[in-house]
């Protein structure tokens, strides 16, 4: 009784995106049992959890989810909360079915100066997502994964895309270049020639191209992307948290280290994992033909 009262009160606190975003409504209806709202009073995002997965929804639809400083501070805050929440094993960031994000808020940059952006280290706080220990999955849809929106998706660990999703780094058209890792992350994945073509022309590319190049992990029908991303998060969250964290850290090291250093790093982490109870449990469960019971230590 008390539980259902608390649940109904917390549901009222969520500002659900308008009903045209059928995926979200369907998803909520499907997962009623596991659905939990824990949203503080954010202005530009929605947060909730779905059975071990924290969901962050960018929610400035009128501005095509342009990434204002306020919005990004809220994303960072929500990421930090989910990262520190032991009941959460993975995080999904999404937009709506029409747009993930049209990039940095151009109107906010109209009066930006070099002196001010240098003094305040403008966009530095966008990098906080790289400190998140748990896996972060981007579930993207629609015609705009553009500029900072594309960079935010590329900062996630996995990208799932809807079949009509379009990506691009159009900053050149504004007299700018990508400023949140676009020239670096895109180039590492798609190679110099394609990255040059995309960044120097501002042209968009499709979800199918992104999948072919390895930028996107899988492409789904539009209405399934978010659900599939949450399912993937739940799969990650079903394993030992410190081991998943170690696996993420090791894969990320591949971007920073030489092959020799990376393999050394991986081997040291692999060896260290023998000290975890979960590593003993995993091996014992295999040997005794039973399901492991992870205690996350």
Q: Which residues are catalytic, by number?
A: 104, 148, 151, 171
Residues near 219 by Cβ (< 8 Å), separated by ≥ 6? Answer: 160, 161, 162, 163, 165, 207, 208, 211
- Under the binding rule (CB under 6 A), the answer on residue 135 touching ligand CAA is no
Residues recorded for the chain: 297
Tell the residue number behind the tokens 């530095």, with chain if given. Answer: 124
233 binds ligand CAA (CB under 6 A): no
Q: How far is CA 185 from CA 34, 208, 225, in A?
A: 35, 18, 23
Q: What is the closest distance, in whole angstroms, from the C-beta atom of residue 204 to ligand CAA in the complex?
A: 9
Q: Phi, psi (5° rounding) for residue 94?
A: -140, 175
For Cα atoms 221, 60, 171, give the angle at the middle one, nearest 5 degrees. 80
With both helix axes pointing from N to C terminus, report the angle between 182-190 and 148-155 in degrees, rounded to the nearest 10. 60
Q: Is 97 in the site for ligand CAA (CB under 6 A)?
A: no
Total of residues contacting ligand CAA (CB under 6 A): 23
Distance CA 187, CA 271 (A): 32
Is 56 one of the binding residues for ligand CAA (CB under 6 A)?
Answer: no
Which residue in the shown chain puts its C-beta closest to ligand CAA? 147
Q: Which stretch binds ligand CAA (CB under 6 A): 58-66, 77-85, 209-217, 276-284?
A: 58-66
Q: Which of residues 236-275 bind ligand CAA (CB under 6 A)?
A: none
Cβ neighbours of residue 244 under 8 Å, at least 6 residues apart? 89, 90, 134, 135, 236, 237
Stretch that binds ligand CAA, among 87-95, 96-104, 241-249, 258-266 (CB under 6 A): 96-104
Q: 46 vs 150, which CB is nearer to ligand CAA?
A: 150
Which residues, numbered 142-181, are part of the site for ligand CAA (CB under 6 A)? 144, 146-148, 151, 170-171, 174, 176, 178-180
Q: Which of 13, 80, 107, 280 binds ligand CAA (CB under 6 A)?
A: 107
Among the listed ranges 11-19, 60-68, 73-81, 227-235, the one in contact with ligand CAA (CB under 6 A) is 60-68
The closest alpha carbon to 91, from 76, 69, 70, belongs to: 76
**Token output for 48:** 């909730």
* CB-nearer residue toward ligand CAA: 134 or 185: 185
Least distance between ligand CAA and beta carbon 169 (Å): 7
Q: Which two tokens stand for residue 178?
A: 């990508």
Which among 201, 101, 194 has a CA at the least distance from the CA of 156? 101
Q: How far is the CB of 26 from ligand CAA (least distance, A)?
A: 25
Nearer to ligand CAA, 48 or 105 (CB): 105
Task: Report which of 72, 71, 94, 84 is spatially closest to residue 38, judged by C-alpha positions.
Answer: 84
If the CB atoms of residues 49 and 101 are measured against ligand CAA, the closer one turns out to be 101
Contact assessment for residue 164 and residue 141, using Cβ atoms and an 8 Å cutoff = yes
Best CA proximity match to 71, nearest among 111, 124, 126: 126
Q: 């009073």: which residue's tokens?
A: 41
Nearer to ligand CAA, 135 or 148 (CB): 148
Which chain residues interact with ligand CAA by CB under 6 A?
63-64, 66, 102-107, 123, 144, 146-148, 151, 170-171, 174, 176, 178-180, 182
């Amino acid at each position: 009784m008390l539980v259902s009262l608390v649940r109904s009160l917390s549901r009222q606190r969520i500002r659900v995106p308008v009903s045209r975003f059928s995926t979200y409504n369907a998803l909520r209806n499907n997962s009623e049992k596991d659905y939990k709202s824990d949203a503080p009073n954010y202005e530009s995002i929605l947060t909730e959890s779905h059975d071990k997965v924290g969901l962050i929804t960018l929610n400035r639809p009128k501005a095509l989810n342009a990434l204002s400083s306020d919005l990004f501070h809220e994303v960072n805050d929500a990421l930090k909360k989910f990262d520190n929440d032991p009941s959460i094993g993975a995080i999904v960031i999404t937009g709506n079915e029409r747009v993930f994000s049209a990039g940095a808020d151009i109107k906010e940059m109209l009066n930006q100066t070099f002196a001010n952006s240098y003094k305040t280290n403008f966009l530095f706080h966008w990098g906080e997502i790289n400190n998140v220990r748990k896996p972060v999955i981007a579930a993207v849809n629609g015609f705009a994964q553009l500029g900072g929106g594309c960079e935010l998706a590329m900062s996630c660990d996995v990208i799932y895309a809807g079949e009509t999703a379009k990506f691009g780094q159009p900053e050149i058209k504004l007299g700018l270049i990508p400023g949140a890792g676009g020239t670096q992350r895109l180039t590492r994945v798609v190679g110099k020639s394609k990255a040059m073509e995309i960044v120097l022309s501002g042209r968009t590319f499709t979800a199918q191209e992104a999948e072919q190049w390895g930028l996107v992990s899988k492409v789904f029908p539009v209405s399934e992307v978010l659900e599939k991303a949450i399912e993937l998060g739940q799969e990650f969250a079903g394993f030992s948290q410190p081991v998943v964290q170690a696996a993420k850290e090791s894969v990320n090291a591949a971007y920073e280290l030489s092959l020799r250093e990376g393999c050394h790093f991986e081997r040291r982490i692999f060896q260290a994992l023998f000290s975890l109870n979960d590593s003993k449990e995993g091996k014992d469960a295999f040997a005794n033909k039973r399901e492991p019971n992870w205690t996350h230590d």
